[in-house]
Chains A and B, each alone.
Chain A
Amino acid sequence: MNKRTHKYLPLFPVLAAYIVMFIIGDNVAGMWQLVGMLAFYCALGQAFNIFLGMTGYVDFGYVAFLGVGTYGMALALTRIKNLEAFGLGIIPIGLLLALVMGILLSLAVGAVALRLRGAYFAIATIGVNEGFRYLIEGAKIWNGAEGMIFTAQMNEAFGRDTASAIMTYWSDIFVLVIAALAALVTLVYMRSKIGYALTALREDEDAAKVMGVNVTKYKIIAFITSAGFAAILGAVSWALKTPYVFPPEVFEIHYTVEAIIIVLLGGAGTLLGPVMGGLVYGISKYYLSIILPGFQLLIFAPVIIIIILLFPEGIVGMLKARLKGTSLESFVI
């Protein structure tokens, strides 16, 4: 095996997990709904990890990027006239719009917040989702607090059968693809100058600066990438899968909490972590909601504290320590 492919070995377990998820969902009856949910959590973790995991900065307003992405797709479907002429072409337009809006918001937030460090950064971001939600509701932008429902537009653009296939099947597959792409980008970043710079930044920002690392540049790269994936994820998983958007729902801080739990549980800054975290979190949430409905957060809140206190490295961090020196070592990072 040559060195080039060796570099990308750690991608195999991640991709294998996603393929297995697809096969199980597609072939085992009644599993598709669970697989769709797990795919969302893995993708969410994978996207959030690019920023939180690689820089060590906590973005409490992360859900705002998903919300904005949802609006991107919603606007493409509701504001464009003559939908039939576009047909499926409306989806790439919506995705592009979501991406652009997500990146613009991340630039606006990043321009202020990324000048700040640690606690100050967290404080600056904690209001982003609420702030954006109240801007939409207050200035009555995009229908304000009423939100938008666009099932009819989807039926018009794609035809009834295709629209329902998109909602129930293709959107979940798309989410799996986003998760895999985010994992690929994470690995590319890790193996490039960006990864080394961010590791230096995470360990000691001042030392990295003194050594001539342009920390601001790399922070911005990680922030925008992470936000872009979030926007696309919102557009696919929230707009295409459930064709409506209400400001209080898509800017709900709850989803930031879930992203944090997934990344921490799996191991922040690792490639396999978000997959592990997403699967463990998603499966336990799914079954807890059956056994003990309404108790998920009550259980997960102490779990976060326990992870922080006792297992700050997460599942993959511990796994890495176990596998050190074995032949499996190069598969897990």
Chain B
Amino acid sequence: MFLEQLGGNLIQGLVLGAIYGMATMGLSLIFGVLKVVNVGHGAFVMVGAFTTLWVFNALGLNPIFALPCAFGLGMALGLFFYYTTIRRLIKAPELASLLATFAMGVLLEEIVRLGFGSEFRGYNWVAGKIDLGITVLPLPKLYASIGSALIALGLYFWFKRTRAGNAMRSVVEDSEGARVCGVNVGWAYALSFALGIGLTLMSGVLLTMFIPVGINPYMGGPYTLKAFVIAVLGGLSSPYGAFFGGLVFGLIENGSYTLFALIPGVEPFALTRFLSFVMLLVILLIRPTGLLRAK
């Protein structure tokens, strides 16, 4: 009985973990290329979620169609914030970019609150479910999970096979060297920031397929924390590390929920959140380069 429950929760965890991983790739990409930590990460996830809400409720379309909208909006927001703010802060002390990205997050939250109000909203997408015997998996969750994996794979090939992807990797290796070889470093920075934000907004779309009724301007906070734990698990600067970190995190989160639920008199859900904070500190302490790095 318990094992069945644990097994079921772990499957759910793996499915959710793919989204977590995808939701962190943008953060890792931006840190990897620009060495800027996007502290407002969760707010961008939230904007993605609202994009879905708008596409579903106002346009009456399938939430899948929100993906390109969110990506486009994310690229636009990314370019806007890059050229107005981030560009001037790359060489500044870290304090400046940390506070600036934090303020961007607050700004987005307040703008969305102004437009949509602060109550929880949601949408109802009926798409069926599959019964796996030990757990029931609604199809939207499965689609979201597969979508995440496809996007991660797409990013991988984009980096390996395209000219722009190669240019960006060369900037990560050695930005001076890349400049000498004729790579437009400023453009590579702008592109990776925009791409990172675009990915983050898309992850917000996929996330709503998990929590279709939990959409609120301030929903991003917990995802910022989770994204940091996952990014640190994966080594902070590697988008693929982040994806696998997400899978690991999803498994740990759902597995620990089942275990915490065995302890009488506690609130298991709150404890999983506490655990993610403890994990963050422990990983930073013992292995700041990430658990998934061989070196």
Contact B288 A116 (CB under 8 A): yes
Contact A139 B266 (CB under 8 A): yes
Determine whether B89 belongs to the interface, using a CB cutoff of 8 Å to chain A: yes
Determine whether B219 belongs to the interface, using a CB cutoff of 8 Å to chain A: no
**In the complex, how many angstroms separate the beta carbon of B260 from the nearest chain A beta carbon?**
8
Tell me the complex Cα distance, A137–B271, Å.
Answer: 8
Chain A positions 282-333 with a Cβ under 8 Å from a chain B Cβ: 295, 297-298, 300-302, 304-305, 308-309, 312
Residues on the A chain within 8 Å of B277, using CB = 127-128, 130-131, 134
Determine whether B98 belongs to the interface, using a CB cutoff of 8 Å to chain A: yes
Contact A134 B270 (CB under 8 A): yes
Chain A residue, CB-CB nearest to B226: A127
Tell me the complex Cα distance, A48–B116, Å.
Answer: 34
User: How many residues on the B side are at the interface (Cβ–Cβ under 8 A)?
Assistant: 50
**In the complex, how many angstroms separate the beta carbon of A175 from the nearest chain B beta carbon?**
25
Query: Which stretch (A32-40, A118-126, A208-216) binds chain B?
Result: A118-126
Residues on the B chain within 8 Å of A295, using CB = 110
Chain A residue, CB-CB nearest to B225: A127
**In the complex, how many angstroms separate the beta carbon of A56 from the nearest chain B beta carbon?**
6
Contact B107 A298 (CB under 8 A): yes
Contact B221 A60 (CB under 8 A): no
Tell me the complex Cα distance, A300–B99, Å.
Answer: 12
Contact B99 A58 (CB under 8 A): yes
Tell me the complex Cα distance, A5–B288, Å.
Answer: 47
Given the known inter-chain contacts A112-B281, A127-B228, please indicate yes or no for A140 contacting B267, CB distance below 8 A. Answer: yes
Tell me the complex Cα distance, A56–B268, Å.
Answer: 37
Chain A residue, CB-CB nearest to B281: A112
SS class, residues of chain B in contact with chain A: helix
Contact B267 A145 (CB under 8 A): yes
User: How many residues on the A side are at the interface (Cβ–Cβ under 8 A)?
Assistant: 45
**In the complex, how many angstroms separate the beta carbon of A100 from the nearest chain B beta carbon?**
21
Residues on the B chain within 8 Å of A144, using CB = 267
Chain B positions 262-291 with a Cβ under 8 Å from a chain A Cβ: 265-274, 276-278, 280-281, 284-285, 288
Residues on the A chain within 8 Å of B96, using CB = 308, 312
Q: How many inter-chain residue pairs (CB < 8 Å) link A and B?
A: 135
Tell me the complex Cα distance, A253–B102, Å.
Answer: 11
Chain B residue, CB-CB nearest to A253: B221
C-beta contact mask, A93-130 vs B, less than 8 Å → 1, else 0?
00000000000000001001101101110111011101
Determine whether B104 belongs to the interface, using a CB cutoff of 8 Å to chain A: yes
Determine whether B24 belongs to the interface, using a CB cutoff of 8 Å to chain A: no
Residues on the A chain within 8 Å of B107, using CB = 298, 301-302, 305
Contact A138 B268 (CB under 8 A): yes
Given the known inter-chain contacts A118-B94, A144-B267, A145-B267, please indicate yes or no for A308 contacting B228, CB distance below 8 A. Answer: no
Contact A131 B35 (CB under 8 A): no
Chain B residue, CB-CB nearest to A305: B103
Chain B positions 232-259 with a Cβ under 8 Å from a chain A Cβ: 232
Q: Which residues of A contact B (CB under 8 A)?
A: 52, 56-58, 60, 109, 112-113, 115-116, 118-120, 122-124, 126-128, 130-131, 134-135, 137-140, 144-145, 253, 257, 260, 264, 268, 295, 297-298, 300-302, 304-305, 308-309, 312
Q: Which 10 A-B pairs have the closest CB atoms?
A: A131-B277, A138-B270, A138-B271, A301-B107, A298-B110, A304-B103, A127-B277, A134-B273, A118-B94, A301-B106
